Amino acid sequence: MPTHPFLLTLTLSQASALLKTHQLTSYSLVHTYLTRIDEVNDTYNAVLQTNPSALEEASFRDLERLHLDPSSVENLSILHGIPIMLKDNIVTLDDSMEATCGSLALVGAKPAEESAVVGALRRAGAVILGKANMAEWSGFRSTSGCSGWSGRGGQATGIYYKGMKASGSSTGCAIAVALGLCFAAIGTETSWSIVSPAERSAVVGFKPTRNVIPSDGIIHASRIQDTLGVLARTVEDAGLLVSILACDDEVHPKVLKKPLSTIGDRNSASLGNIRVGVPGRLLEIADISGVRMEAFRQVLDMLQTQGAKIDSSITIEGTEEYDALSGEEKQIVLDTDMKTAVNIYLSKLQTNPNKIHTLDDIIAFTKACPEEEFPDRNVAVLERSNATNPENELYKKMLERDKYFGGEGGIPGALKRYNVDVILMPCLSPMMSIFAAKAGSPVLSLPMGVFSSDTEIKLDVRGMIDIAPGIPFSLYIYGGVEQDAKVLQVAHTVERMISSHVRDALHMYLAPQTDLCVRDSILESETIPEADSDSAISSSDT
């Protein structure tokens, strides 16, 4: 069995326990991640910048732990001292840390307040490690391809095949977590912006019920649909992170209290009363490769063995109506939301060196700035958005229709009609993601397999490698609003059965070499020559 680098197997509870017993320091954790970023960032372009205060913040957390009495240390958050990466549309006020949504137009621009999630991270004692590259304007800039690309950060690429497309828009977050350049990352999703890049990097992407993690103060693409979520290496870590960052007990008191006890119990293998729906017709019309379908069938079999009831012919009522809509009808709500959201954000800026006050200013800046690569990468989505008006009749009509796509005609309606707890898909379904966005319901993507060596290579429109041998694919789990616990429970069960198999099949073409090693029962940074990597300590998780 291959040995995996220590940092890639370290779980949040293990890291926290090592910190609390002083066998590990936040300082050496941060130092190791910073070294690893240096080693591979030129290759993958995943990290836009690191936080110049990260080592200092880590030392402060180490001191805090040393000076508290043992019972108070026990009470510290499990995130205390843990280095977290942020997508670049999340705002911090640290010195020289930008918040630009990937656009050079916003370099140096800052509002007066940090994003709410940053406050929650700080209260828990997490260390903000840096900002991750993303698809510029969360993918709402261009129709000529900005997947994982931003003017500020260039092209981020996937780690399992040279020139591999890594998807977006939380691209850098997913890559950084997979490479072990941070412990975990906070991303955002309008539709599929967390779960899809998580799939490409073979990490867990979890978009919880909307507003379980408050989205106030981020650079929104849509104030109605955007959701904060997490990218982590395990389902348990993802669930823990979300529960810590969840609104403090007022708005969503029960959503995530339960999954902690459920998923914390590693011995309770049975899925008892869980009912799983599979949208048979959606699968028929999607062109799904044999390897992926085979892996999905095995997952369904395993779930059945664990006691889950499976209904493999559910339908989502609104899919045909949605399919038949015109492009304009499909786009108008988000196009209109984008203009409102961006203009509100811009109106709150306290510093604004490029004098960007409206979407129109963004378009003009983007066209004029060479690094923004206009016209090779167009600004068609920004222009579409600029042309909208919230008083438009079609906008009002489609906004009203969204209640159906996000309700009876969408995921909530299907869950209720077929009496199922979750819906499973073997691949990204843009329509399911859009329906989940309109419902504000949770989605989790979990690594399920890897394309085999005889897979035919496929390129995307910009010539990036889309499908190839060694590229991972994920299972998608959709749940009901505030039913995050059930999504986590199913994900955790599947993960326990397949994760070591998936992990053994993954090979990065360039991996960081520095890792944590034990010296005198203390963990410290050390560069491990590739040939000796078997001597790296391997943790004993599952």
Ligand X SMILES: *[C@@H]1O[C@H](CO)[C@@H](O)[C@H](O)[C@H]1NC(C)=O
Residues forming the active site:
87, 169, 193
Select 94 or 294, whichever has its Cβ closest to ligand X. 94
Q: Min. distance of Cβ 278 from ligand X in angstroms?
A: 41
Strands 149-150 and 184-189: unpaired
Select 71 or 267, whichever has its Cβ closest to ligand X. 71
Distance separating alpha carbons of residues 203 and 152, to the nearest angstrom: 25
Contact between residue 247 and residue 391 where contact means Cβ atoms under 8 Å apart: no
Q: Min. distance of Cβ 383 from ligand X in angstroms?
A: 5
Select 55 or 522, whichever has its Cβ closest to ligand X. 55
In sequence order, the 6+-apart residues with CB closer than 8 A to the CB of 160 are 202, 450, 470, 471, 472, 506, 507, 508, 509
Block residue for tokens 């299907």: 414
Strands 522-527 and 514-519: antiparallel
Q: Min. distance of Cβ 131 from ligand X in angstroms?
A: 9
To the nearest 10 degrees (0 to 180), the angle between helices 430-439 and 393-405 is: 100
Q: Min. distance of Cβ 160 from ligand X in angstroms?
A: 19
**Helix (H) or strand (E) segment spanning residue 188:** strand 184-189
Select 37 or 126, whichever has its Cβ closest to ligand X. 37
Distance separating alpha carbons of residues 229 and 288, to the nearest angstrom: 27
537, with CB counted inside 10 A (0-12, 13-18, 19+), is middle
DSSP 248-302: -SSS-SSTTHHHHHHHH-TT----TT-EEE--HHHHHHS---HHHHHHHHHHHHH
Select 215 or 385, whichever has its Cβ closest to ligand X. 385
Chain Cα centroid distance, residue 174 = 6
Q: Min. distance of Cβ 347 from ligand X in angstroms?
A: 16
Residue 280 is which amino acid? G
Give me Rg for the CA atoms of the chain. 22
Select 365 or 451, whichever has its Cβ closest to ligand X. 365
In sequence order, the 6+-apart residues with CB closer than 8 A to the CB of 355 are 361
Distance separating alpha carbons of residues 61 and 512, to the nearest angstrom: 26
Structure token digits, residue 324 = 């038949």
Select 170 or 474, whichever has its Cβ closest to ligand X. 170
Q: Min. distance of Cβ 49 from ligand X in angstroms?
A: 5
Chain Cα centroid distance, residue 484 = 15
Select 383 or 408, whichever has its Cβ closest to ligand X. 383
Distance separating alpha carbons of residues 228 and 396, to the nearest angstrom: 26
Q: Min. distance of Cβ 165 from ligand X in angstroms?
A: 18
The SS3 of residue 209 is: coil
Q: Min. distance of Cβ 40 from ligand X in angstroms?
A: 9
Contact between residue 493 and residue 303 where contact means Cβ atoms under 8 Å apart: yes
* Residues lying near ligand X in the complex (CB under 6 A): 37, 41-42, 45, 47, 49-50, 71-72, 75, 154, 360, 363, 383, 386
